[in-house]
Amino acid sequence: EPEVTQTPSHQVTQMGQEVILRCVPISNHLYFYWYRQILGQKVEFLVSFYNNEISEKSEIFDDQFSVERPDGSNFTLKIRSTKLEDSAMYFCASNAGENQPQHFGDGTRLSIL
Amino acid sequence: DAKTTQPPSMDCAEGRAANLPCNHSTISGNEYVYWYRQIHSQGPQYIIHGLKNNETNEMASLIITEDRKSSTLILPHATLRDTAVYYCIVRVGYGNKLVFGAGTILRVKS
Contact B93 A99 (CB under 8 A): yes
Whether pLDDT at B110 is above 80: yes
Distance from CA of B78 to the nearest CA of A (A): 23
Q: Of A11, A13, A6, whose CA–CA distance to A81 is shortest?
A: A13
pLDDT tens digit at each of 113 positions of chain A: 779 999 999 999 999 999 999 999 999 899 999 999 999 999 999 999 999 999 999 999 999 999 999 887 899 999 999 999 999 999 999 999 877 899 999 999 999 99
| Measured distance CA(B55)–CA(A70) in Å, rounded | 38
Contact B101 A42 (CB under 8 A): yes
pLDDT of residue A97: 82
Percentage of chain B modeled with pLDDT above 70: 95
Q: For residue A7, which phi and psi values (nearest 5 degrees)?
A: -140, 150
Query: What is the Rg, in whole angstroms, of the alpha carbon atoms belonging to chain A?
Result: 13
Task: Respond yes or no on whether the N-terminal peptide bond of residue B7 is cis (omega within 30° of 0).
Answer: no
| Measured distance CA(B101)–CA(B41) in Å, rounded | 16
